[in-house]
Amino acid sequence: MKKKWGIWIVAILLGCAILEAAIWFKYKDRLLIDLESTRKNDWDYSIPLTTNLQNWVHKGDLVLVNTSYAIRPEGVKKDIITLADEDELNSGFVLLDRNMMLSRHVAEQFQKMTTAAAEEGVHSFLMSSGYRDLDKQEELYQEKGAEYALPAGYSEHNSGLSLDIGSSLTTMDEAPEGEWLEKNAWKYGFILRYPKDKVEITGIQYEPWHFRYVGLPHSAIMYKKQLVLEQYLQLLREKKEISCTLDDHNYNIRYYPLDSETTIYVPRKDSYEISGDNMEGIIVTASD
């Protein structure tokens, strides 16, 4: 009898282990995010970056653009393209304007995202707005007013990092495209920039269509912690360093407040990216 009980216990434990493994595999891209796995001693800060630090503050994928902080000329993405001219980057969704422009890199990530959504049966995407230069933004502001548009330089659309995504089925707050993006956009480096419950922080009413590219792992951290960009940058300023693990990649993020004596160091071996916050700091993100 004891032997039978032992067999049953082993079978139950094995079944639980298999179920846990299956759940882990299905949701591994979420479960591997671990903000507590700090690796403070693993970086080799051996290469100083001391050239034009002030310029670095105002460019990169994490620059804050809102009613208080305008995009600087150096912050506008340098790879802006007209989407209609790039056949490989305008399939799988409808372009409402053939003159629409966007950062090439952001467009590539958007293409990957809509392709993944189509594989899950969500495929009625359309793009209604992308990059706008300052002249077009000012024209929109004068035409529509402050209730609808922001002054030139204070809209994320002036950076090349943001786009408005719609659905040909219905409004985004009811469309399967909107629901899919809210759950999955972070996997491709995008965030819902103006959520319904963050209006007091962003100063912008809920816009279920407006998505902003910030890149991984930042989008994953913001998604998990339910942070908007303002809150995430504040977290980096407070913590100074954050580590996380995502899809078998270890990331280490360091925030450097800029002053007259600032010296930025980057890792010798790991790949890294640099972005300013458009305020007073520089963020170095390394991955192995």
pLDDT at 15: 46
207 belongs to the catalytic site: yes
Set 139, 207, 241, 273: catalytic member: 207
What SS3 class is residue 241?
strand
Q: What is the mean pLDDT of residues 188-198?
A: 97
What is the reported pTM?
0.85
Q: What is the mean pLDDT of residues 82-104?
A: 93
| Rounded Cα–Cα distance for residues 222 and 214 (Å) | 10
Question: For residue 48, is pLDDT > 80?
Answer: no
Q: What is the mean pLDDT of residues 13-18?
A: 43
Question: For residue 9, is pLDDT > 90?
Answer: no
Share of the chain above pLDDT 90, in %: 69
Taking phi first (over 0 means left), then psi (-120 to 50 degrees means alpha), and beta for anything else, what does residue 208 get? alpha
Q: What is the mean pLDDT of residues 113-118?
A: 96
| Rounded Cα–Cα distance for residues 203 and 201 (Å) | 6
pLDDT at 133: 96
pLDDT tens digits, one per residue of 209-218: 999 999 999 9
pLDDT at 24: 35
What SS3 class is residue 240?
coil
- Which CATH class, in words, describes the domain spanning 76-213? alpha beta
Share of the chain above pLDDT 70, in %: 81
pLDDT at 279: 96
Q: Which of 48-57, 79-88, 251-260 has the highest mean pLDDT?
A: 79-88
Query: What residue segments make up the domains of the chain, in order of their start?
Result: 76-213
Q: How many residues can be counted in the chain?
A: 288
Query: Which residues face 190 on adjacent strands?
Result: 213
Q: What is the 3-state secondary structure (H, E, C) of 138-173?
A: HHHHHHHCCCCCCCCCCCHHHCCCEEEEEECCCCCC
Secondary-structure breakdown of the chain: helix, strand, coil percentages, each rounded to the nearest 5: 40, 25, 40
Mean pLDDT (the chain, rounded): 85
Q: What is the mean pLDDT of residues 124-132?
A: 96
Question: For residue 187, is pLDDT > 70?
Answer: yes
